[in-house]
Structure 1
Amino acid sequence: IDADALNIISEDVKILKKIRTDFILTPHPGELSRLTKLSIQKINEERIDIALNYANEFGGILILKGAPTVIASPEGEVFVNPTGNSGLATAGSGDVLVGIIGGLLAQGLTTICSAIGGVFLHSLSADLYVKEHNEYSLIAGDLVDYIPKSLNFIINREYEKEQM
């Protein structure tokens, strides 16, 4: 659940309790602020605790986008993504993230594995793009173009050969 859907849900957050299947929320701090009525500053200062608290309260996986991106489950698991850069703050980037997560779900990965893997691939794509270009020119379509490179980077264990 991303972008405009989050804005609609922020009008009645209790609707999340009616969802009877696994779900993933993908807010940036501004969207989470609208959902929780917390300040953006507080969210940024307490990213991990707030992500865990609201994943539990909402009953779904919460991906708090930003630096760093935090993935929290309602069961109390938390994962901090080590990849990514400011180029991800571009129009359509969240749509690419949701598409990657959807693709992983369609391949049979669990919801939490799809969230973690999707965030990692999305952010790694941005990092690999920046190695060749820069974070200022990154657009959403570039992320899509770099997904195969990110997969090869992982499959070929290139992370063992170089420092990101």
Structure 2
Amino acid sequence: MTFFSPSYCPNSESRHLQTALQFPDVFKPRQEESHKGTFGTLAVIGGTSGMSGAVVLAATAAMYTGCGKTWAAFNQPQLPFAVIPERPEVMLATAETLIRRNDIDAYVVGCGLGLDTQTEHLLSALLTAARGKPLLLDADALTLLAKPSAIRQQAAEHGKLILTPHPSEAARLLGISTEAVQSGREHAVQTISHTFNAVTVLKGSRSLVAAPEQPLYTNTSGNAGLATAGSGDVLSGIIGSLLAQGIPLLQAAQAGVWLHGAAADLLRDNGIGEAGMLAGEIAPAARWLRNRLIHSSI
């Protein structure tokens, strides 16, 4: 089934993400009287059997980016481990347990989530549980969203939605080929944004960020070192962390994409080459960079 609408006319205005000065809410000093509740609670939900690492990467990235509290929720009947090694700060739960909590400020859903029928029901329930709160859908959640089902309408009506597809996921959302997406990336990302009333990040070299009735932004940070397993999970964790901290949707997506790429540039320029850069190395670099930029703004 094709969802792509050639008749949709996207916003032709285009800008670039190229400096931290574009994200004033992200790079401002913290108040001395702050506490962990000040910086929000994020739920990262995914990690079906064999894919636990995706949730670990995203949740860890959220903590490194300044989230007050982070839950890693696994789409498994039992927790795969009692604590994340070397990251006991991250709280653990099964997805079915966490969905009943009412103290979550923002959600990241999809990292290694799975694609079976039961998971489709879980995604529908999560869309209901997250109503009125910022929600980022990535990876397997996007594949489920591409199916002609009620989930598409649920997502389109959410109102505080961020989608982060890579080209093949964008192609499934639009019902066209990956080659068609890549040959018309600007039209594709803006059409997805329009269709789902969502801020949309089309990942890849020079990632694009679109939002309804807003100019299109092209990211200028990043390098080929980001072409590694788990890099997208880290990006989702960074953006989700900013959402939980109260950063508005569009600025959270833009700043997250830029910071993710700038952290990779920092690694490349300081002795870690593009070949063999690990996703788990990106978040600590993003923490260092964010704090340095905050300090420089004081």
Please tell me the TM-score bracket, short chain as reference: 0.7 to 0.9
**Per-residue deviation at 1:14?**
5.8
Partner of 1:16: 152
Q: Does 1:143 align with 2:282?
A: yes
TM-score (norm 2): 0.50
Q: SS where residue 7 of structure 1 aligns?
A: helix
TM alignment of 1:40-55, pairs within 5 A: 40-55=178-193
Q: Is the 8 A contact 1:3 1:31 kept in 2?
A: yes
Partner of 2:122: none
Distance 1:13 1:155, change over 3 A: farther
Match of 1:102 among 237, 240, 243: 240
**Per-residue deviation at 1:46?**
1.5
Q: Is the 8 A contact 2:159 2:197 kept in 1?
A: no
**Per-residue deviation at 1:45?**
1.9
Match of 1:118 among 256, 261, 269: 256
Gaps of at least 5 residues in structure 2 are 1-136
Distance 1:75 1:128, change over 3 A: same
* Alignment: residue pair count: 157
Gaps of at least 5 residues in structure 1 are 158-164
**Per-residue deviation at 1:156?**
5.8
- How well do the aligned residues superpose, as a CA RMSD in angstroms? 1.7
Q: SS where residue 95 of structure 1 aligns?
A: helix
Match of 1:134 among 273, 288, 296: 273
> Which one has a larger percent helix, Structure 1 or Structure 2?
1
d(CA) in 1 for partners of 2:227, 2:148? 27
d(CA) in 1 for partners of 2:218, 2:149? 25
Partner of 1:162: none
Between the two structures, name the one with larger relative contact order (CA 8 Å, sep ≥ 6).
2
- Deviation beyond 3 Å, 4+ runs, structure 1: 152-157
d(CA) in 1 for partners of 2:236, 2:213? 22
Q: How big is each residue's C-alpha offset from its partner over 1:100-152, in whole Å with a ceiling of 9 and x where there is no partner? A: 11111111110001000110111111111111211111111110121123214
TM-score (norm 1): 0.87
Match of 1:82 among 185, 209, 220: 220
Partner of 2:163: 25
Partner of 2:177: 39
Q: How big is each residue's C-alpha offset from its partner over 1:48-91, in whole Å with a ceiling of 9 and x where there is no partner? A: 12211221112111100001100000224311111011221211
Higher CA-based Rg = 2
Q: Is the 8 A contact 1:6 1:27 kept in 2?
A: yes
